[in-house]
Amino acid sequence: MRIRDLSLDDMNEAQKRVAEEAASGKRGRMPAPLRAWIHSPELGERAQKLGEFLRYDTILGPMLSELAILLIARHWTSHYEWYIHKREALKAGVSPDVVDDIAARKAAPIADEKAEALRLYVTELLDKKIVSAETHRLAVDQLGEQGVVELVGLLGYYTLVSMTLNAFEIMPPDGEPLELDH
Q: Looking at residue 120, which CATH number applies to its domain? A: 1.20.1290.10
Range of the domain at 29: 8-56
What is the pLDDT, as a whole number, of residue 133?
99
Determine how many CB atoms are found less than 10 A away from the CB of residue 94.
24
Determine, yes or no, domain membership for 179: no
Same-domain status, 90 and 51: no
Domain count, the chain: 2
Determine, yes or no, domain membership for 173: no
Same-domain status, 116 and 96: yes
What is the pLDDT, as a whole number, of residue 27?
85
Using 70 as the pLDDT threshold, list the residues of the chain that sit under it: none
Please check whether residue 41 is in contact with residue 19, taking contact to mean a CB–CB distance below 8 angstroms: no
What is the pLDDT, as a whole number, of residue 182?
84
What is the pLDDT, as a whole number, of residue 71?
99
Q: Please state, in angstroms and rounded to a whole number, the distance separating the CA atoms of residues 121 and 105.
A: 15
Please check whether residue 38 is in contact with residue 19, taking contact to mean a CB–CB distance below 8 angstroms: yes
